[in-house]
A and B are shown apart, each in its own frame.
Chain A
Amino acid sequence: MSETMSQRRRSGAPDRSELPSYLVSDPRRRRGPSTRELAQGLCCFSIGLGLTEVACGGAIARWLGMPRSAAIIQAYGVREILQGVGILGASDPTPWISARVAGDALDIVTVLPGLEGHNPRKDNVLIALVALAGVTAVDVICARSLSDAPLAPSEKVRRDYRRRSGFRRGAEAMRGAARDFKPPPDIIGPEAMRPWVLTNA
């Protein structure tokens, strides 16, 4: 065991390499554009929902038929805002999105009791649960896409493909070198169906 690792073990700090990838922030992750946009969208959603929960916690609790939960909803609103800000500020938002998944689970556990007893607003609770399930699915997809993203190569393994043309001469010199090839009519379509200008030029 290396000196650093044994020091870390002694200090009780977890070794980052032993944590699941969805809990670790790694700026080298090469996120795809769609995943990046999805994370940004969830960031905006988180802040928006958080502000709404803080401002309208009481109204939301009444709509759910759970008026005693107003303070909890407002606290969850603060959590949402913090998560949104975390996603916004992180170079790699993976652990923050994973935190959203945990938050979703907490939300569902909080709302579920609304289905018990004689709550007259059970329909609203069901709507909220369906919405929460949808948001959870999106959060899970985003967290998985982020944690599965490939790492950018270090400078040491950066390979140079600028000379990989596959042609003996320059690419420009090879343009049209296979014009002698006659495309079979059964592959490119019968003469009568080909563009008029080309067949009649």
Chain B
Amino acid sequence: MRALVWHGTEDIRCDTVPDPKIEHDRDAIIKVTACAICGSDLHLYDHFMPGMEKGDVMGHEFMGEVVETGKGVNGALRKGERIVVPFTIICGECDQCKRGFFSVCERSNRNKDIADKAFGHTTAGLFGYTHLTGGYQGGQAEYVRVPFADKTHIKVPENLSDEQVLFLGDIFPTGWQAAVQADIQPTDTVAIWGAGPVGQMTLRSALLLGAKQVVCIDSVPERLEMARAGGAITVDNSQESTVERLNELTGGKGPEKCIDAVGMEAHSPRALEHAYDRVKQAVMLESDRASVLREMIYVCRPAGILSIPGVYGGLIDKVPMGALMNKGLTIRTGQTHVNRWTDDLVKRIADGQIDPSFVITHRAKLEQGPEMYKTFRDKRDNCIKVVLRP
């Protein structure tokens, strides 16, 4: 089969690889009908996340048709059924899964020992996202093996198109969880850093949940335009001070809720801060750049909440712990507990409350994937979200 394969930094190729096979009773094989390139795939493309190996198949946002099931799937899935696959692989039986904390499933990461060493305790296995999270082959391919398939799936109504439901596998529930974690109240100003795909989903979720003001911060004009279309007030941080503007919008008090939809590759608008982080990252004294976190902690209203859906992989430096502690801020973060939200979100899509396909700006064949990675990473051609068809 054809698949997008990681070969090294900025080197992804469309290769022919062996077809996946059922390896365990609870596996299923899916014929992929649509897949997307996620912003967090770019951390692998740029090789900021450790743990990738040559030959790994990329992709964790995909959907398709069930073509084969293992004996242990026990009727939970049938051949021909159309499903979206959540990026977090879940067993559905461990203590964390039973509590709904699916992204920290205790059993699905087959490289648990490595994760235990890196994070203290393992987190869930993920598709196409390093050997730290199981080294599972990803979904930017013609076929994919889904482990624990009796639980790791989202069934979608036939009357909804692939593009309407594809993002249930990652960015829509990720944006939704980011907003829910912020405990949005009708009096709240919610500031969201990053107007990429997750930022776009987050700001729409915050609006649906009833925030008084949603403010989106970025420097890319077309992303800010899309954010305004979704009802956000926008701040172009290449042209104005984020802190000053947020204080102006909140009567000098700062936003009650701040959401980091950027993560480890943040670009500070302050040259010295950015140079400092880049140098430390280059000489491996830190792995992630924390400029958004610093700004959020600084500008957030005392007793406010910071929600962090943006992906971080390792260590950061110069976190203003004094401001965080003295202002009594709450931090809520984590990979998305996808299946916890998707029943509700499927209904909201079906009811016409939201159509997540608004974010798609580029459609291409799987073979064009390597070029699309570059287009997406470099924000060329007004690219915000790429959907690939195998």
Report A's interface with B, CB cutoff 8 A: 30, 32-38, 40-41, 137-138, 141-142, 145, 148, 150-151, 153, 157-168, 171-172, 174-179, 181, 183-184, 186-189, 194-195, 198
Bound-complex Cα distance A33 to B291 (A): 13
Residues of B with C-beta under 8 A to A165? 229-231, 358
Contact of A141 with B279 in the complex, beta carbons under 8 Å = yes
Can you spell out 6 A-B residue pairs with CB atoms less than 8 angstroms apart?
A138-B279, A159-B382, A161-B229, A167-B231, A175-B207, A175-B208
Contact of A37 with B270 in the complex, beta carbons under 8 Å = yes
Interface size class of B (residues with CB under 8 A): 35 or more
- The yes or no answer to B269 lying at the interface (CB within 8 A) is yes
Segment from B50-58, B131-139, B314-322, B347-355 that makes contact with A: B347-355
Bound-complex Cα distance A37 to B270 (A): 7
- The yes or no answer to B330 lying at the interface (CB within 8 A) is yes
Residues of A with C-beta under 8 A to B279? 137-138, 141
Known interface pairs A33-B237, A184-B100; A179-B274 also in contact (CB < 8 Å): no
Nearest CB in chain A: distance from B349 CB, A = 10
Given A159-B222, A183-B180, 5 other A-B contacts at CB below 8 A?
A: A34-B267, A150-B379, A151-B380, A166-B358, A181-B344
Contact of B226 with A164 in the complex, beta carbons under 8 Å = yes
Digitize B359-387: 1 where CB-to-A-CB distance is under 8 Å, 0 elsewhere: 10100000000000000001111101000
Residues of B with C-beta under 8 A to A172? 231
Bound-complex Cα distance A187 to B267 (A): 29
Contact of A41 with B271 in the complex, beta carbons under 8 Å = yes
Bound-complex Cα distance A150 to B207 (A): 31
Nearest CB in chain B: distance from A7 CB, A = 30
Bound-complex Cα distance A164 to B223 (A): 11
Residues of A with C-beta under 8 A to B205? 178
Bound-complex Cα distance A176 to B190 (A): 14
Closest-by-CB residue of A relative to B270 is: A34
Known interface pairs A159-B361, A161-B226; A38-B210 also in contact (CB < 8 Å): no
Residues of A with C-beta under 8 A to B282? 137, 141
Residues of B with C-beta under 8 A to A159? 222, 361, 382
Residues of A with C-beta under 8 A to B267? 32-34
Contact of A40 with B271 in the complex, beta carbons under 8 Å = yes
Nearest CB in chain B: distance from A97 CB, A = 13
Nearest CB in chain A: distance from B230 CB, A = 5
- The yes or no answer to B238 lying at the interface (CB within 8 A) is yes
- The yes or no answer to B278 lying at the interface (CB within 8 A) is yes
Most buried by A among B268, B271, B273, B353: B271
Nearest CB in chain A: distance from B26 CB, A = 27
Contact of A167 with B204 in the complex, beta carbons under 8 Å = yes
Residues of A with C-beta under 8 A to B354? 166-167, 174
Residues of B with C-beta under 8 A to A40? 271
Contact of B228 with A162 in the complex, beta carbons under 8 Å = yes
Digitize B249-293: 1 where CB-to-A-CB distance is under 8 Å, 0 elsewhere: 000000000000000000111111111001100110000000000
